Amino acid sequence: MSDTASEVQTHTIRLELVDEPGELLRALEPISEAGGNLMSIHHERGNVTPRGHIPVEVDVSCVPDRFERIVDSLREAGVNVIQAGAERYDEELVVLLVGHLVETDLSDTLQQVESCANASLTDLSLSAPRGNDESSSARVRLKTKSGTTEEALATLRDIAAEKDLHVIEPLTGDQP
């Protein structure tokens, strides 16, 4: 029997930082102080959340009870922790959205995707036509938790259908 309480695991923490100098350092300090081993930092500077914050994903390896302490100390330090857990957002999902994206409030669409589909938006490219009649297209890159990509896609489909948007999905399964 393995002792899960003492097993070192990799945990992903999603933070949202205010776009000011020193913010990233301030967020990382509590992690090292609490004994977490920083594995990777994904700092999405070009990708501002609807609230004007910068999303940051941090992978930390440590034992579970230490992880809780890290999250607590981050929150105590006033850092905005969006999500913390052992699950890693390690599956990538790229879809195209086609339709009246701007008129149907693209940022609301994406926010819904992030909150309902439990996915994290990592990249967005929008191509909108000059006129209003034509459809616009967006390429949306999402990170989802292992094994939940199908679920995320299903939610995405529902959100898109509600706004009469067309989702061009990737082929699932490993395409060579």
Partner 1 sequence: MSGARLAVLGAGAVGRSVVELAAEYGHTVTAVADSSSAAIDPDGIDTAAVLDRKADSGVVGDADADAALDAEYDVLVEATPTTLDDAEPGFSHVAHALDRDRHAVLANKGPVAERYGDLRELEADSDGQIRFEATVGGAIPICSTIADFGAGHITAARGVLNGTANFILSRMAAEGLDYEHVLAEAQDLGVAEADPTFDVEGIDAALKFVILSNVLAAGDQEFTLDDATVDGITDIPGSALDLAAEDGRTIRLIGEATPDGVTVAPRLVPDDGPLSVTGTLNIVQLETTHAGRLNISGRGAGGPETATAVLSDVSRLTE
3 to 6, 8, 67, 70: CA distances (angstroms): 6, 10, 16, 21
Phi-psi region of 61 (alpha: psi -120 to 50; beta: other; left: phi over 0): beta
Least spacing, CB of residue 164 vs partner 1, in Å: 11
Q: Which segment (5-13, 27-35, 73-81, 120-128) binds partner 1 by CB under 8 A?
A: 120-128
| Residues from 139 through 168 that contact partner 1 (CB under 8 A) | 139, 141, 166, 168
Beta bridge partner(s), residue 56 = 15, 43
Least spacing, CB of residue 105 vs partner 1, in Å: 19
Q: What is the total residue count of the chain? A: 176
Structure tokens at 176: 């060579």
Considering only 3, 125, 144, 147, the residue that binds partner 1 (CB under 8 A) is: 125
Q: Which segment (32-40, 57-65, 137-145, 148-156) binds partner 1 by CB under 8 A?
A: 137-145
Does 83 participate in binding partner 1 (rule CB under 8 A)? no
Residue burial 82-103, b: 16+ Cβ < 10 Å; e: rest:
eebeebbbeeebebebbbbbee
Considering only 96, 100, 111, 151, the residue that binds partner 1 (CB under 8 A) is: 96
Does 63 participate in binding partner 1 (rule CB under 8 A)? no
Does 98 participate in binding partner 1 (rule CB under 8 A)? yes
Cβ atoms of 97 and 166 within 8 Å: the answer is yes
Does 47 participate in binding partner 1 (rule CB under 8 A)? no
Q: What is the DSSP letter of 171?
A: P
Binding site for partner 1 (CB under 8 A): 94-96, 98, 125, 127-129, 134-139, 141, 166, 168-171, 175-176
